[in-house]
């Protein structure tokens, strides 16, 4: 039974990971327990637990805010990843580190393979790519997991919720909802990603280390995702498509960032279920369990 330390254990993915890894000895470290920017503290706390597997879910992921705070983005997404990689190597443990579809520029129209050439368009993607390279170089026993569009019952602490709950809240307001239709990816339920990581942990020494793409199957635009949210919630909402230019976000986003899962499948793991099935189950979760950070 491996001993697993989860950094960011009270976040969206960390919460689901703790549930999915109940067959392991799990030590969950919240931001209050450990700020990954404090390398000395991280070494002290993590070394004390002697993990077999170290899972890093921490990230500075407010994409537009990264444009204004590149120092913070690189401190959390790159420098902290470097320090954790060095620590994992010193402890001879496996490091599982999460990255993003935003390492790609979105100019392709077929899903990106793991060995496709990255070319991020924004500070967030650049900082995540730097973290990938540092983890890969300094920790031989590593898994870099690229995923996209995460949503879960706890919600993203840094974003104050998730896209699904934001859409439901806007839909209930009665006002028209406008959502970008020219950005296509694969929305991913954090409960499904967590289950996939539990399977990975159980076989971690039997599969090749390196980069893997893990998302729910299928693809859609954010506008199509919003339409599905309202349809499955049985809400009548006027939801209109807009372009990224009309949205006017500070950071550029890739127009197409769907990830190919071939390497994950070749390693003997199962394809995650289609995004629409995952969304349907999420929406069936009892309302008190689907809360944004800070709500009762």
pLDDT tens for residues 148-173?
999 998 755 555 579 999 999 999 99
- Phi, psi at residue 177, to the nearest 5°? -115, 135
Over residues 70-92, mean pLDDT: 97
pLDDT number for residue 113: 97
| Confidence at residue 285, expressed as pLDDT on a 0 to 100 scale | 84
With respect to residue 90, please indicate whether it lies within any of the assigned structural domains.
Answer: yes
Q: Is residue 243 part of a domain?
A: no
Residue 108 belongs to a domain: yes
Q: Which residue, 2, 295, 296, 291, is CA-closest to 155?
A: 291
Q: What is the percent of the chain with per-residue pLDDT over 90, rounded to a whole number?
A: 86
How many domains does one find in the chain? 1
Residue 161 pLDDT:
74
pLDDT of residue 23: 83
Arithmetic mean of pLDDT, 49-67 = 95
Residue at 125 is within a domain: yes
Judge whether residue 289 has pLDDT over 60: no
Q: Where are the alpha helices (DSSP H) in 80-156?
A: 80-91, 123-138
pLDDT at 287: 58
Q: With cut-offs at 50, 70 and 90, classify the pLDDT of residue 183.
A: very high
25, two tokens: 């000895």
7 part of a folded domain: yes
Residues serving a catalytic function are 124
Percent of the chain whose pLDDT exceeds 70: 95
Identify the CATH number of the domain in which residue 198 sits: 3.40.50.720
pLDDT in the model for residue 158? 52
In this predicted structure, the answer to whether residue 294 has a pLDDT above a threshold of 80 is no
Residue 34: domain span = 3-154+188-217+253-273
Q: Mean of the pLDDT values across residues 188-194?
A: 97
Tokens 């099935």 correspond to what residue? 277
- The Cα–Cα gap between 268 and 150 comes to 23
Strands (E), the chain: 3-7, 25-29, 53-56, 94-100, 142-147, 150-151, 177-180, 184-185, 188-189, 210-213, 220-221, 239-242
Q: Above 50 in pLDDT, residue 295?
A: no
Mean pLDDT of the chain: 92
Closest alpha carbon to 128 in 31, 60, 71: 60
At residue 293, the pLDDT reads: 36
Q: Compute the distance between CA of residue 88 and CA of residue 46 in angstroms, rounded to an integer.
A: 9
53-56 and 94-100 beta bridge pairing: parallel
Measured CA distances, 274 to 143, 151, 188, 196 (Å): 23, 14, 9, 14
Residue 49 falls inside a structural domain: yes
What six digits make up the tokens of 279?
Answer: 């969304």
* pTM, rounded to two decimals: 0.93
Q: How far apart are CA 193 and CA 237, in angstroms?
A: 29
Look at residue 10 and tell me if it is in a domain.
yes
Domain annotation covers residue 133: yes
pLDDT in tens, 194-216: 999 999 999 998 999 999 999 99
The reported pLDDT for the residue numbered 174 is 86
């Amino acid at each position: 039974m491996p001993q697993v330390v989860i950094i960011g254990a009270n976040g969206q993915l960390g919460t689901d990971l703790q549930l999915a890894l109940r067959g392991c000895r799990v030590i969950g470290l919240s931001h209050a327990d450990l700020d990954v920017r404090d390398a000395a503290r991280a070494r002290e706390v993590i070394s004390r637990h002697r993990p077999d597997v170290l899972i890093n879910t921490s990230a500075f992921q407010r994409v537009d805010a990264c444009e204004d705070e590149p120092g913070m983005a690189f401190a959390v997404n790159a420098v902290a990843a470097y320090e954790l990689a060095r620590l994992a190597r010193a402890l001879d443990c496996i490091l599982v580190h999460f990255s993003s579809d935003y390492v790609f520029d979105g100019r392709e129209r077929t899903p990106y393979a793991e060995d496709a050439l990255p070319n991020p368009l924004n500070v967030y993607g650049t900082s995540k790519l730097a973290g990938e390279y540092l983890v890969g170089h300094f920790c031989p026993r590593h898994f870099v997991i690229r995923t996209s569009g995460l949503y879960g019952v706890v919600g993203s602490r840094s974003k104050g919720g998730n896209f699904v709950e934001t859409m439901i809240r806007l839909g209930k307001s009665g006002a028209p909802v406008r959502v970008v239709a020219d950005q296509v990816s694969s929305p991913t339920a954090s409960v499904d990603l967590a289950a996939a990581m539990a399977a990975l942990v159980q076989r971690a020494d039997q599969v090749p280390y390196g980069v893997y793409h893990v998302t729910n199957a299928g693809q859609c635009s954010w506008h199509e995702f919003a339409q599905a949210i309202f349809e499955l919630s049985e809400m009548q909402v006027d939801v209109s498509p807009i372009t990224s230019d009309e949205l006017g976000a500070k950071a550029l986003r890739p127009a197409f960032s769907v990830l190919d899962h071939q390497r994950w499948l070749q390693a003997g793991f199962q394809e995650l279920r289609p995004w629409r099935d995952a969304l349907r189950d999420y929406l069936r979760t009892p309302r008190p369990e689907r809360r944004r950070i800070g709500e009762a």
